[in-house]
A and B are shown apart, each in its own frame.
Chain A
Amino acid sequence: MKQTSAHIPRRDPAQVMRLSRLGSLHQCRLSFMRQLTRRMARENWNFIRPVFDIDENGVGHAVYTAQAPDHAYSLVAFAHDLPPEQRSDRVIAEAWDATFALFDGIPTEQDIQRLSENVPLQEAGRVSENELSLSRANRSVRLWAHVVDRLAAGQQPDLEQIYKVGYLMRTTAVYGSGKFGAADREKTANRPELQAPFQTEMLSVYLTRTFVRDLVQHMARVKGGDQTAELAPEIGQWLGIGNSTGLGMAPFIVNHPVLFNNWIMVREEALAQVRSLPTASDSEAQQFRDIFERCKLSMSWWRSEHPIQIEKLSALNADLSAISDYLDQDDLTRYHPWERLIQWSETTLSEEGQELLASLVLEPYGDLVDGLTECMADGNAQAQIIDGAMTVAQTRALIRDRFDWALSLDWSDEANCARAWYVSEEKLEPRLGERFEEPISDFEQPLAPARDAAAAFAELSNWRDEAPIAEFLLHHPEHRHTIRRAQIGRIAPYGEIHDNTISSSVMPIDMLRAKLSFFGATHFDPRSDRWVRICMYSGAPYPEDLTTETADLWVYPELEE
């Protein structure tokens, strides 16, 4: 029996929601990929590949079907022969090495014909209510060539090369939720397997990974003929799927405050519950130690050439050895072991190390925390409706609660509003520009909640306390989005970033990492302050190896005996 004495509260949003901390988050057992692999194993999903029709140039299509208890989902994959000069991970790209749709059910030949005329065009095509997602991927040119050449020569690829890159292909967009004609989330949100956030997209990527493995084997066989080696499972396991992502994810977490709150709050609640445990059993303590050792191995494969991440990795490596020292001196079973560990981390480690521990201490406690994942979706449409009867004084208090730090900032100082988020007419790519250097402010998106909160707060000071906010809004429609957010804050304490998203020093990659960590991504590799590559499913079992034993902890590599 686990005893929870509920006296450790969730961490304060003012601590958790700083951008530098959000930009230090790590995957954990609540992450969307791990939720999916556990479910697929638990429910014993069946996987088949009814079509694999790819020619010797690597061009053609394939279908991978995942059969869940009540629904089937099929990845329809198109492989292309892409000239290198067209290989770009940007949204503005117009061709890719491979393109995909996740079909709701089992596609007919007519469906595949229709998809073949649209999916390769991505944003320029249309999909239908029968499709749940639309995506594309580009090869990692070097690793692809290495794996094909080695297998074709009858040899296995070099694991060091695989660890360095992590994937054979990286997705450059995975569109769900009604984009480009696909089914709205409402179509599937009540299916148990797709209720949690981004399960559709995670399933699409999981099947994509299998396709990519099969494709590289096929291309090796084309090249090597009879002497070609079969990719060894213990090596293929470390091929994940990459993702290369720009600014599109940053607006997402600002535009979905309730959803983002639910992710953060569930992790914080899980952490608070574990911290509240007065003792841990020997086996729980041992489990933690094992996971930590395995995690260290995975971290040792994490490479980045970006100066900021290099610095963070060096701090993280120092953190890892400090944690090792701590673990040498504490048996982790008595006197609120996890609470002491977390408190120690807050005084000793960098934010990378602190957040790593906050994720890792959840690992021995699946029974305690996994059920919380049911609260990660956003089913509360009513939160968007403004309560116009709220008084001006109450609204002011809500804004002060959430944005106290922003009210004293000098918003006329150029450094505090140096940037502006906008959408380019080029394929509607989200971008971040210099407000005082580029003609973009007329196109600014409402992605600076702190600045807007300060402006609304200042205007509210001219109004009498007891006036209903409805009256204020009638005269100030320009503050309507801000008042809505302030009221949403009542149910979403972790819905607002506690930092300035338009300051001259903002690091958009922090916002990207926060979102990607909840997907379950690893090995964050920034390419700039607003662009990041990551790895997904590296270490995960392929469908034929997916069991309840392999479905959960795959993210942590097994140590060699």
Chain B
Amino acid sequence: MNISLNEVEATAKRATRGAGYSWGLAEEAAKATRWLCARGQNGTGALARLLQMVMADAPKQRAPTDLSGDWHSDELLCPLVTGALLSDCAIRVNSSAITMSNVAVPVLLLPFAANAARLLDTRVTIECDGIIAETDGLDLTLNGPIPDQAKHVSVHLGGRLANAVPHHTRAEPSPTDWSTLNRFAQNTYAPATEESRLRGAGAGLSDND
């Protein structure tokens, strides 16, 4: 499938909302998925995998409990909640590394590290169980595939940003991932009823004039 990045963003937003996240986090997920796809990464696959883990039902358990040390929780951390927090706490990266433990689908943290890099106007390195990614917000380098789940993640300043991955203008999601996202998105659409059809759009019944 060959999809525009705008379609990726729109579908990711609806899917994330449809999976039970807040609108604000759905917006983050949409931008994050698009950011990954624009750098040739399988953003749609990552989001589809995350949404199927049904983390939005208990958001508190999926977020770090204490921000003073290592970010962790009793359960796997959600990369959208934790990623948004990382972006929001970008300024902390200036003084020391942010570390976290047990993160689901950690590739989804990269766009938020990119936000941090943009806000701080610097390069940021993110290390997931030995795999190293670097970004200045725009470009991305990776020295291997980000694992499906990470035991240890560290986000700190710096990076050489040599051999950045090429930028892409289209996404090619697998049909399975794309239909997973669309299935979640469906939850945001009101069922078609005759009343809604007649009242909701407010158009005339005939346009033969």
A binding-site residues for B, Cβ under 8 Å: 84, 87-92, 128-129, 138, 140-142, 177-187, 244, 246-247, 382, 384-389, 422-426, 428-434, 438-440, 443, 446, 468-471, 473-474, 477-484, 508, 527-531
- Out of B21, B115, B196, which one reaches A385, CB within 8 Å? B115
Q: What chain A residues lie within 8 Å of B87 (beta carbons)?
A: 385-386, 388
Nearest 6 interchain pairs by C-beta: A480-B24, A388-B88, A178-B6, A431-B200, A178-B4, A530-B202
Q: A92-B197, A477-B22 are in contact. List 19 more A-B contacts (CB 8 A).
A: A87-B206, A89-B203, A89-B207, A90-B201, A128-B2, A129-B170, A388-B89, A388-B91, A424-B189, A424-B196, A443-B190, A470-B85, A470-B88, A477-B25, A477-B59, A477-B84, A481-B23, A527-B203, A528-B203
Nearest CB of A to B153, in Å? 17
Whether the pair B208, A247 counts as a contact (CB closer than 8 A) is no
From B2, B88, B115, B202, give the contact of A473 (CB < 8 A).
B88
Interchain nearest-CB distance for A103 vs B (Å): 16
Q: Does B49 contact A (CB under 8 A)?
A: no
**Residues of B187-209 whose CB lies within 8 A of A:** 188-192, 195-197, 199-204, 206-209
**At the interface, yes or no: B61 with Cβ under 8 Å from chain A?**
no
Instruction: Answer whether residue B172 sits at the interface, using C-beta atoms and an 8 A cutoff.
Output: no
In the complex, which of the residues A141, A181, A468 contacts B208, with contact meaning CB atoms closer than 8 Å? A141
Q: How many residues of B contact A (CB 8 A)?
A: 50
- Nearest neighbor of A143 in chain B, beta-carbon distance: B209
> B4 contacts A182, CB within 8 Å?
yes
Binding site for A on B (CB under 8 A): 2-7, 21-25, 27-28, 31, 59, 63-64, 67, 81, 84-85, 87-91, 115, 118-119, 169-170, 186, 188-192, 195-197, 199-204, 206-209
Residue from the list A423, A471, A484 in contact with B190, Cβ < 8 A? A423
B189 and A446 contact, CB distance less than 8 A:
no
Residues of B within 8 A of A185 (CB): 6
Which residues from chain B contact A438 at a C-beta distance below 8 Å? 195-196, 199
Whether B118 lies near A385 (C-beta < 8 A) is yes
Can you sample 13 A-B contacts with CB below 8 Å?
Answer: A178-B4, A181-B4, A183-B4, A246-B202, A385-B119, A386-B84, A431-B196, A470-B88, A474-B64, A474-B81, A477-B22, A528-B204, A531-B201
A interface SS class: mixed
Alpha-carbon separation in the docked complex, A138 to B203 (Å): 15
Q: Which residue of A lies closest to B170 (CB)?
A: A129
**Which chain B residue lies CB-closest to A179?**
B6
C-alpha gap A84/B205 in the complex (Å): 12
Q: Report the minimal beta-carbon distance from A166 to chain B, rounded to whole angstroms.
A: 13
Q: B201 — which chain A residues lie within 8 A by C-beta?
A: 90-91, 246-247, 429-431, 530-531
List of B residues within 8 angstroms of A90 by Cβ: 201, 203
**Complex Cα distance A375/B190, Å?**
38
Q: Which of A426, A478, A530 sits near B192, CB closer than 8 Å?
A: A426
CA distance A110 to B110 in the complex (A): 40
Q: How far is the CB of B128 from chain A (nearest CB, A)?
A: 22
Whether the pair A138, B119 counts as a contact (CB closer than 8 A) is no
Residue contact B7 to A179, C-beta cutoff 8 Å: yes
CB atoms of A425 and B192 under 8 A apart: yes
Q: Please, how many angstroms separate the alpha-carbon atoms of A38 and B55 in the complex? A: 53
Whether B23 contacts A480 by the Cβ 8 Å rule is yes
Q: Are A387 and B119 in contact (CB under 8 A)?
A: yes
For the complex, what is the distance from the CA of A545 to the CA of B196, rounded to whole Å? 46
- Give A274 Cβ to nearest chain B Cβ, in Å: 37
B190: chain A residues within 8 A (beta carbon): 422-425, 431, 433, 439-440, 443
Which residues of chain B come closer than 8 Å to A529, judged between CB atoms?
202
| A527 CB contacts on chain B under 8 angstroms | 202-204
